[in-house]
Amino acid sequence: MSVYTIERVLWDLQDSDEKAALYREQPNEILNQYNLTTDEHSLLSDMDIESMVSLGIDQMLMSMTWQAINGPQGIPEYMQRLNSIKS
């Protein structure tokens, strides 16, 4: 998996209200616009925070993207997912 590719998608989602809205409604529609491997697509469609952390994806970028998609009310779930990661 490419950290760069995953981070590029995350950046685009948090940088564009339109893309974040499309992701909320139809994640495959937006993800199919990128040249993703099957694993990258799955990781991003599930917004698999645990796997992203293990790959070394920038955590600030993950947080910003999570909030762009889920709004501030999604922060508790994001923090719960982060806190559940075993070192």
Structure confidence at residue 84 (pLDDT):
87
Q: How far apart are the first and last CA of the chain?
A: 21
Name the burial class of residue 84, with classes exposed (0-12), middle (13-18) and buried (19+) by CB atoms within 10 angstroms of its CB.
exposed
Count of structural domains within the chain: 1
> Which pLDDT value is given to residue 18?
96
Does the global pTM surpass 0.75? yes
Q: In b/e form, how buried is each residue of 22-34, taking b as 16+ CB within 10 angstroms? A: bbeeebeebbeee
Domain ranges, residue 35 = 3-83
Please list the pLDDT of the chain residue by residue as tens digits (87 residues): 799 999 999 999 999 999 999 999 999 999 999 999 999 999 999 999 999 999 999 999 999 999 999 999 999 999 998 888 876
CA atoms lying within 13 Å on the CB side of residue 10: 25
